[in-house]
Amino acid sequence: MKKISILALHLGYGGIEKCVVNLANLLCHDYKVEIISTYRLAEKPAFSIDSNVEVRYLIEKYKPNREEWKQSIKKIKPITFIKETYKAIVVLLLRRRKTIAAIKENDSNIVISTRALFNNWLGEYGNSKAYKIGWEHNHHHQDEKYIKTLVSSCKKLDKLVVVSDSLRSFYKKEFRKNGLKCKCVYIPNMLDSIPKETSSLKEHTLVSVGRFSREKGFVDLIEIFRMIHEKKPEWKLCLVGDGSEKNKIVDLIYQYKLNDFVELHGYLSREEVDEVLHRSSLYLMTSYTESFGIVLIEAMSHGIPCIAFSSAEGANDLITNDQNGYLIENRDFEQMANKVLELMNSVTKRKKLGKEARKMSSNYTKEQVKGDWMKLLKKRG
């Protein structure tokens, strides 16, 4: 049985990390699969990993300390700043040394890298006989520096897998322009499962799932919900997730006296998220950026219409206006609130859009995505 190694930064909560685990679980009965994780953030991975998948951690004593370092600057603590800066340098040096060593020693037939930094090291130090694949989950947002960094990191890779067809077209042109032999392939992220039953869409519940960080726009979502609440006080908002902006979100909820109408669930298991989605009638996404938006597909699989800002690029590939949901241009809070209110007023319209949303989700099943990966891997694996 041939072997696959997946290079991951960590196995904590996060979209990339969930995709890594899903892929490992998907392939581990056809290949010998190992995940090489740079950091060990917790005793157990955030997501359930098949017992056939081997997990190896490179650094167990230290963890990334970016947030602590930022706080030492923000709160003007010179001694703490010096300590956190020293720790950051140690962690980064360890990351480089340990990851490069693991790549040099790796004997897998196929190695999948999940970040541009790892792409560089895999291309430079990886076994010349290995099939080297980069896996890009982020959108470039027209950031020239980011684009240049990613393209450069793929110079010595065989393939780059991206999660949307628009990204495939974009990087295909960039690779050709820069004379790269690396081929760009589109394989979407996948659903864990398609629920047997859909939401009734009769509950007065809005839902949003994700990491509480600035780019996910949850602070904006509270502002929008305040506008909605003034006209539909019987509806509530469920937020699933956690992160660095939690305190800011909680403060805003109390400032607007919405604490009886907003539920904060923290991180939940896949089964618990499904339960929340099943009890919801509309999904809202206020992300500033989103490369794919697996949470949209998860909501759609429950037959839930989705409303998102078009700034979340991945949403543009999934939502068709007035067919399975709505895309709101220019991050217009009032327009989003109005579309939400429109659907709140019509369960018939919600069911019509939800039916089409459910159809869309069928394109992202395990069977569909596994077929794409197996086709790619067998070309060299």
59-90 residue pLDDT tens: 998 888 777 888 888 788 888 889 889 888 99
Element containing residue 283 per DSSP (H, E): strand 282-285
What pLDDT sits at residue 44?
Answer: 93
Maximum Cα interatomic distance, the chain, rounded to a whole number of Å: 63
Pairing of strands 159-162, 183-186: parallel
Residue 291 has pLDDT above 80, yes or no: no
What pLDDT sits at residue 262?
Answer: 98
Single-letter amino acid, residue 230? E
The whole-angstrom separation of Cα 115 and Cα 158 is 15
Q: Across residues 28-52, what is the average pLDDT?
A: 95
Is there a shared CATH topology between the 3-190+365-377 domain and the 205-363 domain? yes
Is the CB of residue 110 less than 8 Å from the CB of residue 31?
A: yes
pLDDT confidence of 347, banded at 50, 70, 90? very high
Sign of dihedral through CA atoms 29, 30, 32, 38?
A: negative
What pLDDT sits at residue 273?
Answer: 94
Q: Across residues 340-346, what is the average pLDDT?
A: 98
SS3 of 27, please? helix
Choice among 31-40, 114-123, 372-381 with the minimum mean pLDDT: 372-381
Percent of the chain with pLDDT over 70: 100
Q: Across residues 303-332, what is the average pLDDT?
A: 95
For the chain, the structural domain boundaries read 3-190+365-377, 205-363
pLDDT confidence of 183, banded at 50, 70, 90? very high
Q: Which of 284, 227, 240, 236 is nearest to 259 (CA)?
A: 236
What pLDDT sits at residue 261?
Answer: 98
Q: Which of 91, 101, 344, 322 is nearest to 225 (CA)?
A: 344
Q: What is the mean pLDDT of the chain?
A: 94
What pLDDT sits at residue 293?
Answer: 79
pLDDT confidence of 169, banded at 50, 70, 90? very high
Element containing residue 59 per DSSP (H, E): strand 54-59
The whole-angstrom separation of Cα 164 and Cα 291 is 8
The whole-angstrom separation of Cα 75 and Cα 66 is 14
Choice among 197-206, 292-301, 345-354 with the minimum mean pLDDT: 292-301
pLDDT confidence of 289, banded at 50, 70, 90? confident
**CA atoms lying within 13 Å on the CB side of residue 314:** 23
What's 3-190+365-377's CATH class? Answer: alpha beta
What pLDDT sits at residue 67?
Answer: 79
What pLDDT sits at residue 283?
Answer: 98
Residue 381 has pLDDT above 60, yes or no: no
Single-letter amino acid, residue 117? L
Is the CB of residue 117 less than 8 Å from the CB of residue 153?
A: yes
What pLDDT sits at residue 64?
Answer: 86
What pLDDT sits at residue 320?
Answer: 95
Query: CB count, 10 Å around CB of 74?
Result: 8
What pLDDT sits at residue 84?
Answer: 86
User: Can you give the pTM of this predicted structure?
Assistant: 0.82
Q: Across residues 273-284, what is the average pLDDT?
A: 97
pLDDT confidence of 313, banded at 50, 70, 90? confident
Residue 136 has pLDDT above 60, yes or no: yes
Choice among 113-122, 188-197, 224-233 with the minimum mean pLDDT: 188-197
Q: Which of 180, 247, 186 is nearest to 212 (CA)?
A: 247
Enter the CATH code of domain 205-363: 3.40.50.2000
pLDDT confidence of 10, banded at 50, 70, 90? very high
Rounded to 5 degrees, what are φ and ψ at 207?
-140, 150
Residue 322 zone, left/alpha/beta (φ > 0; ψ -120 to 50; rest): left
